[in-house]
Amino acid sequence: MSSQEEGELSSPEITAIGISFGNSNSSIAYTSGEGKAEVIANEEGDRQIPSVLSYIEGEEYHGTQAKSQLVRNSKNTVAYFRDFLGRDFDSIDPTPCHASAHPQKHESTVAFSIQDQESDAQNIVTVSEITTRHIRRLASSASDFLGKKVNAAVITVPTNVTEEQRVALSEAAKKAGVEVLQMILEPTAAVLAYDARPEAKIKDKIIVVADLGGTRSDIAIVASRGGIYSILSTSHDYETAAGVQLDQVLIDHFAKEFIKKNKTDPRKNERSMAKLKLEAEATKKALSLGGNASCSVESLANGIDFSSTINRTRYELLAGKVFGAFTRLIEEAVRKADLDILDVDEVILSGGTSHTPKISQNLQRLFPPTTRILSPSTLPTAIDPSSLSARGAAIQASLVQEFEKDDIEQSTHPMVTVTPHLRNAIGVMVVSEDVKKGLFSALVEKETAVPCRRTGVFAVPRDGGDVIVKICEGLREIKVSKKEKAKINGKPASDDSELDSDDEEDEEAEEIREKVWKVGTVLAEAGVKGVKKGGKVEVRIKVEADLGVQVEVREAGGKGGVRGTLEKARVVENGSA
Amino acid sequence: MAAVHFSLPLPVLPQGWSAEKDFKSIGQLSPATQRNIEPVGPHFLAHERRKRHQRTFSEDDR
Ligand SMILES: Nc1ncnc2c1ncn2[C@@H]1O[C@H](COP(=O)(O)OP(=O)(O)OP(=O)(O)O)[C@@H](O)[C@H]1O
Ligand SMILES: [Mg+2]
């Protein structure tokens, strides 16, 4: 991208923010002068702003205020609409709007019939118009905070977004006075939010991004190679595992308590149900922090107040099935990427539901101890999962805001982004403890996009001398062995997480699974002669864009060295994600 | 990216091993897979710059 030409007709100043726009909540963020992403609180002080609009006698309410209108004014309250944008009515699932304004078919799109003016008239308001109003409110909060007019944004979208949805979002934002500089994928934004921290080290790693939201959960397996991200697979769930399913567990629990005492089911009355739903969600959030939480609703049903408490253990027991479904969804995505649980270096928990301690605990059991689980309950330095998407978008906004929109479009075009990725790791043979057996040390991991280069520094035998650098491809295999009473290593956690298997007697021999390298094709050999005692050998491998490989080997600190090239490989198939 | 250090030693050069300029090209990389890389982050920008201007890493470093 080339930055704006100097002396060009002065275009208006661009003030860009990052926006995450979910079905349940939205967030706005900006990048400070020091390059740090910060989430902006709206006038009400909310950083997670419910994606809800409500109308009372022509007045528009937004965010938390609008959400609370779900009790008294549900018919004029529009919620959970993001996934309807850019879709035709026949392809949407209206279930999440059960207790708010219902989506309806309108020409080729989806609309809501609401009383949004002072008059009594029911107006048909398209989902596109609702989105425009929502983004206008978000941009206005950001403008108030920043003290200048926000007129551009990077917005996050789910990995299965369609081209129609992108176009619809871009148009809706434009009508709100916000130019969408770029749409970036939610999991990529989460990875970027972590990588942009000053203390972050760029390393090659496989990352699972689990974005656990309100109405949906989305998993992405990301290969992060030298700071470049490729999505290897995705999985989605709209029915069994997300925030609303956890709310429902508590709603049912409290409803049963209420029925026992009062012989009436609050779930049968719309108003009662709406009240209980809001309170149950608050109880659920409180249970992420404390061991106990209360739930009180004034005049829940038949004028009777309700008040109760629940402890975390009980909640985790009741929600065991839902928690199990999160784990299974993640396992599915790992499998789809042709990877093993042992290949995962990091799990980034994103989205509001990721605050739930039990979900991270289950993942700690699923993955080996070497896998870092980045969530508030497992890592004190974790970033607030609810803010990851918006932060990533803000960082990207700061990177692209000086470029022309056309330039951004060109550089995000598949011509640039579709790239050959290495099928196998490339590495060097070293001597193992068992001198007769060579050991493969990976230098370039598989799924690295080209061009790429990596440098390794290798030890030599104690007295130095002549050594051989044997460059090979390596194939990762999972070795399974049985051992009596061994420690759990990457063994899948049981789905019925309420049973703590530690307490049970393990009668069967424990399975040990480990990652081992099998040597594949030998690519090249280089001889390095006369390495001095205690010396080191530096090996640099470069794979060019055309898949030509260059190898450079030299004694560290020495001059000269050995160079060579390999025949070019071919690109064949398309990857799955 | 920073160089990675490996503590296990390289093997001793076998007796009688010889190659022109001490380098022997033996095999070929397995065919690569076409995938999308995410157009996001500072490292992508650098990648994209190299691709557009057909520059190599070392030229880019200068
Ligand atoms: N501290 C918390 N503990 C547990 N759950 C929480 C917490 N904070 C938020 N949530 C839940 O997270 C969900 C919202 O997540 P998020 O804001 O990521 O949603 P979203 O991406 O807008 O939603 P959707 O999946 O509907 O598109 C809600 O179900 C909310 O109750
Ligand atoms: Mg979300």
Query: Pick from A411, A424, A527: which is nearest to B48 by CB?
Result: A411
| Residues A520-534 as b or e (16 or more Cβ within 10 Å = b) | bbebbbbbbeebeee
Beta carbon of A50 within 6 Å of any ligand 1 atom: no
**Residue B10 — very low, low, confident or very high, per pLDDT cuts 50/70/90?**
very high
- Per-residue pLDDT, averaged over A313-339, amounts to 97
- Per-residue pLDDT, averaged over A82-90, amounts to 96
| Weakest-pLDDT range from A53-67, A407-421, A534-548 | A407-421
Asked if B52 is an interface residue toward chain A (Cβ–Cβ < 8 A), one would say yes
Q: Minimal Cα–Cα distance from B59 to chain A, Å?
A: 13
Write down the pLDDT at residue A493.
Answer: 47
Write down the pLDDT at residue A403.
Answer: 87
Residue A426 Cα to ligand 2 midpoint, Å, equals 37
Residue A52, phi then psi, degrees to nearest 5: -135, 140
Which runs of consecutive H residues, i.e. helices, occur in A263-311? 270-289
Helix (H, G, I), strand (E, B) or coil at A248: helix
| Weakest-pLDDT range from A62-76, A385-399, A461-475, A553-567 | A553-567
Write down the pLDDT at residue A35.
Answer: 86
CA distance B27 to B30: 9
CA distance A331 to A504: 24
CA distance A144 to A303: 42
Helix (H, G, I), strand (E, B) or coil at A523: strand
How many residues belong to chain A? 577
- State the closest ligand 1 atom to the C-alpha of A284, by its place in the atom list counted from 1: 4
Q: Do B35 and A575 touch (CB under 8 A)?
A: yes
What contacts 24+ positions apart, CB below 8 Å, involve A494-499? Answer: A495/A324, A495/A327, A495/A328, A496/A320, A496/A324, A497/A316, A497/A320, A497/A323, A497/A324, A497/A327, A497/A358, A497/A362, A498/A316, A498/A317, A498/A320
**Residue B56 — very low, low, confident or very high, per pLDDT cuts 50/70/90?**
low
- Per-residue pLDDT, averaged over A328-335, amounts to 97
User: What confidence tens digit (pLDDT) does each residue in A348-373 have?
Assistant: 999 999 999 999 999 999 999 999 99
Mean pLDDT, chain A, integer: 92
Bridging pattern class, strands A549-555 and A536-543: antiparallel
Write down the pLDDT at residue A278.
Answer: 97
Of residues B58 and A324, more confidence is placed in A324
Distances (CA, A) of A500 to A288, A423, A495, A504: 20, 40, 11, 8
| Weakest-pLDDT range from A158-162, A496-500, B3-7 | A496-500
Amino acid at A168: A
- Per-residue pLDDT, averaged over A140-167, amounts to 97
- Per-residue pLDDT, averaged over A60-73, amounts to 97
CA distance B49 to B45: 6
CA distance A241 to A127: 26
Bridging pattern class, strands A571-574 and B32-36: parallel
Ligand 1 pocket mutation pick from A21, A47, A98, A284 by most atoms within 8 angstroms of CB: A284
**Does residue A16 have a pLDDT over 90?**
yes
Bridging pattern class, strands A179-185 and A152-157: parallel
- Contact at 8 Å (CB) between A211 and A217? yes
How many residues belong to chain B? 62
User: What confidence tens digit (pLDDT) does each residue in A439-475 have?
Assistant: 999 999 999 999 999 999 999 999 999 999 999 999 9
- In which element (H, E) is residue A259 found? helix A243-262
Which runs of consecutive H residues, i.e. helices, occur in A52-116? 64-68
Distances (CA, A) of A506 to A294, A364, A368, A483: 38, 20, 19, 12
| Weakest-pLDDT range from A8-22, A75-89, A303-317, A386-400 | A8-22
User: What confidence tens digit (pLDDT) does each residue in A20-39 have?
Assistant: 999 999 999 999 988 899 99
Beta carbon of A266 within 6 Å of any ligand 1 atom: no
Write down the pLDDT at residue A406.
Answer: 85
Q: Which residue in B47, B51, B56, B59 has the most chain A C-beta atoms within 10 A of its own C-beta, making it the best mutation to test that interface? A: B47
What percentage of chain A reaches a pLDDT higher than 70? 92
Find chain B residues with C-beta within 8 A of A542's C-beta: 57
Write down the pLDDT at residue A488.
Answer: 53
Ligand nearest to the CA of A219: 2
**Does residue A487 have a pLDDT over 70?**
no
Query: Scanning the structure block, which residue is given the tokens 């062995």?
Result: A481
Amino acid at A212: L
Closest residue by Cα to residue A136 from A57, A213, A47, A26: A26
Q: Minimal Cα–Cα distance from A45 to chain B, Å?
A: 29
**Does residue A500 have a pLDDT over 70?**
no
Q: Do B29 and A185 touch (CB under 8 A)?
A: no
Write down the pLDDT at residue A22.
Answer: 98
- Per-residue pLDDT, averaged over A374-400, amounts to 97
Of residues A406 and A434, more confidence is placed in A406
User: What confidence tens digit (pLDDT) does each residue in A195-233 have?
Assistant: 999 999 999 999 999 999 999 999 999 999 999 999 999
Of residues A247 and A11, more confidence is placed in A247
User: What confidence tens digit (pLDDT) does each residue in B28-44 have?
Assistant: 999 999 999 999 999 99
Query: Pick from B18, B33, B48: which is nearest to A416 by CB?
Result: B48
Beta carbon of A96 within 6 Å of any ligand 1 atom: no
Write down the pLDDT at residue A573.
Answer: 67
pTM for the model stands at 0.92
Q: Which residues contact B25 (CB under 8 A, 6 or more apart)?
A: A523, A524, A564, A565, A566, A567
User: What confidence tens digit (pLDDT) does each residue in A100-139 have?
Assistant: 999 999 998 999 999 999 998 999 999 999 999 999 999 9
